[in-house]
C-alpha cells in the first residue's frame, strides 16, 4: 500500500515487494491478489507488478526458460495492445544473488514509453511494468531506471 509521500516520494509496501517511488503514487483498486497497479502524477504513469508463484524452488538453470517465456508473453502483449507495432528495445539480462533478471524498454508512437523488468527468484517470478506518456527518451530512461531500481524483493 502507498504509505506516504514525504520528500516527493511514495513508499509502497506490499507482501511480496517494497519500493520507494519518486513522486506521488496512488494504488488502483483491484481484487487480484497477484497483481497490483499504481498510478503516478507524471504523464499518466502506471507501475504494475504481477506475481507468478512457482510450485517448488527452481535452480538458476531451471528458471532461465521461465524468464524467456515471461519475456515472450510480455512482448506479445505490448504488440497486441498497441494501435500499431511498438518499437521494442533489446533485452538485457543479469542476475543478483538467486534472482535472474531481464529488462527491455519500448516506445509506442506518438508518445507512450514503457519498461518491463522480469525477476525470477527461486519461488516467485515478478513481471514489473512501467509506462508513461509524453516524456523524452532521456527523461524516460532516467525515470524508468529510478523506478525499476527502487523495487526490492525478499531474499531467497
Low pLDDT (below 70) residues in the chain: 1-7, 82-83, 156
pTM: 0.89
Q: Output the CA torsion sign for 136, 141, 142, 143.
A: positive
Range(s) of the domain holding residue 45: 6-150
C-alpha cell at 144: 524508468
Q: Is residue 156 part of a domain?
A: no
**Residue 103 — φ and ψ, nearest 5°?**
-145, 145
pLDDT tens-digit series, residues 11-25: 999 999 999 999 999
Q: Are 16 and 36 in contact (CB under 8 A)?
A: no
What is the rounded CA–CA span in Å between residue 25 and residue 39?
5
In the chain, the number of structural domains is 1
* CATH code for position 85: 3.40.1000.10
Amino acid at each position: 500500500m502507498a504509505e506516504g509521500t514525504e520528500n516527493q516520494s511514495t513508499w509502497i509496501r506490499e507482501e511480496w515487494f517494497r519500493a520507494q517511488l519518486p513522486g506521488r503514487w496512488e494504488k488502483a483498486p483491484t481484487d487480484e491478489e497477484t497483481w497490483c497497479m499504481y498510478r503516478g502524477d507524471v504523464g499518466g504513469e502506471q507501475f504494475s507488478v504481477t506475481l507468478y508463484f512457482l510450485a517448488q524452488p527452481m535452480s538458476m538453470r531451471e528458471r532461465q526458460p521461465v524468464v524467456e517465456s515471461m519475456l515472450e508473453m510480455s512482448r506479445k502483449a505490448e504488440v497486441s495492445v498497441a494501435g500499431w507495432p511498438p518499437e521494442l528495445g533489446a533485452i538485457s539480462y543479469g542476475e543478483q544473488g538467486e534472482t535472474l533478471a531481464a529488462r527491455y524498454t519500448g516506445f509506442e508512437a506518438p508518445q507512450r514509453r514503457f519498461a518491463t523488468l522480469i525477476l525470477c527468484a527461486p519461488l516467485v517470478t515478478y513481471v514489473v511494468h512501467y509506462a508513461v506518456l509524453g516524456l523524452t527518451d532521456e527523461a524516460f530512461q532516467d525515470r524508468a531506471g529510478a523506478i525499476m531500481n527502487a523495487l526490492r524483493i525478499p531474499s531467497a
